[in-house]
Amino acid sequence: MYEERFDKRKFDELRPMEAETGIIPNANGSARFKIGNTEAYAAVYGPQEVKPKHLEKVDRAIIMCRYDMMPFSVPDRAKPGFDRRDMEISEVITNSLNRAVILEEMPRSMIDVRVYVSQADAGTRCASLTAAAMACADAGLPMRDLVAAVAAGKIGDSICLDLTKEEEDFHEGGATDVPIGFLPSKNEIVLLQLDGKVSREDLKKIIEIGKIGAAKIYELQKAALKRRFSNESQS
């Protein structure tokens, strides 16, 4: 049984969030997204020449994304180097961005996306994807929509939004974690993973609660981008 959340949040409540764009002067686009104690920075370079050349596509751009955790982002110092987990997360973020960015408008080019997690308390792939989508918009890339991503799941008997690491590790009754990425205005899911076991009915409820959370994240993303572009037009 999990009747009250460790941090006293309601079951459908997100952790406190912060979002900003245009924070890295040397990148074409950048963003920071923080949700509770999970924080991600994203930098976008391009569209630029494809290197190595053989990866070039004549009819569209390619996205190359790399996710990394800073050594101090977790209690036990994250190991340096690109491990299987980093590889998997880089790939799922790339796949999601491929659905959001209009690649056909930038043939023969490459978009390099770098995401760094500075603090990790679960949900880093979702925070990274949320930041990466904002950074793509900040770079002025043509996009079908932003991606707003959040993990939801089931802790004990309770469907929960935006799990913490402490909740993910809940043993009594088990924990299921479902990272979900949405194109909110298109009502499309571009990321859906499942770590654990749930019934089909519960999965529907988890996606529904995730969608409500993503709508709030989307508002924050749009507000951050509006702030950035209105500041730019004033200067």
Ramachandran region, residue 8 (left: φ > 0; alpha: ψ -120 to 50; beta: rest): left
Q: How many degrees, rounded to 5, is the angle at CA 62 between CA 61 and CA 66?
A: 145
Q: How many degrees, rounded to 5, is the angle at CA 78 between CA 121 and CA 169?
A: 40
Site for ligand CDP in 204-233 (CB under 6 A): none
Q: One symbol per residue from 144 to 163: x for binding ligand CDP (CB under 6 A), - otherwise; what is it?
A: -------x------------
Q: Whats the size of the chain, residue-wise?
A: 235
Contacting ligand CDP (CB under 6 A), which of 47, 123, 181, 213? 123
Span from 96-104, 123-131, 199-207, 217-225 in contact with ligand CDP (CB under 6 A): 123-131
Instruction: Write the CA distances from 7 to 13, 143, 154, 163, 172, integer angstroms.
Output: 11, 36, 16, 10, 17
Q: How many degrees, rounded to 5, is the angle at CA 188 between CA 135 and CA 220?
A: 40
Residue entry with tokens 């890295």: 24
Residue with Cβ nearer ligand CDP (62 or 151): 151
Buried b or exposed e, range 186-217, using 16+ CB within 10 angstroms: eeebbbbeeeeebeeebbeebbebbbebbebb
Site for ligand CDP in 172-201 (CB under 6 A): 179
Which two tokens mark 104? 């056909």
Please name the residues in contact with 232: beta carbons below 8 A apart, sequence gap of 6 or more: 22
Q: Is 78 in the site for ligand CDP (CB under 6 A)?
A: yes
Q: Is 120 in the site for ligand CDP (CB under 6 A)?
A: yes
Contacting ligand CDP (CB under 6 A), which of 74, 189, 192, 198? 74
Smallest separation, CB 96 to ligand CDP (Å): 13
Smallest separation, CB 218 to ligand CDP (Å): 19
**C-alpha radius of gyration, the chain, whole number:** 18
Q: Is 50 in the site for ligand CDP (CB under 6 A)?
A: no
d(CA 140, CA 64): 17
Span from 101-109, 120-128, 153-161, 203-211 in contact with ligand CDP (CB under 6 A): 120-128
Smallest separation, CB 35 to ligand CDP (Å): 11
Residue with smallest beta-carbon separation from ligand CDP: 124
Q: Is 122 in the site for ligand CDP (CB under 6 A)?
A: yes
Site for ligand CDP in 81-100 (CB under 6 A): 85
Q: Is 124 in the site for ligand CDP (CB under 6 A)?
A: yes
* Contacts to ligand CDP by CB under 6 A: 74, 78, 85, 120-125, 151, 165, 168, 179
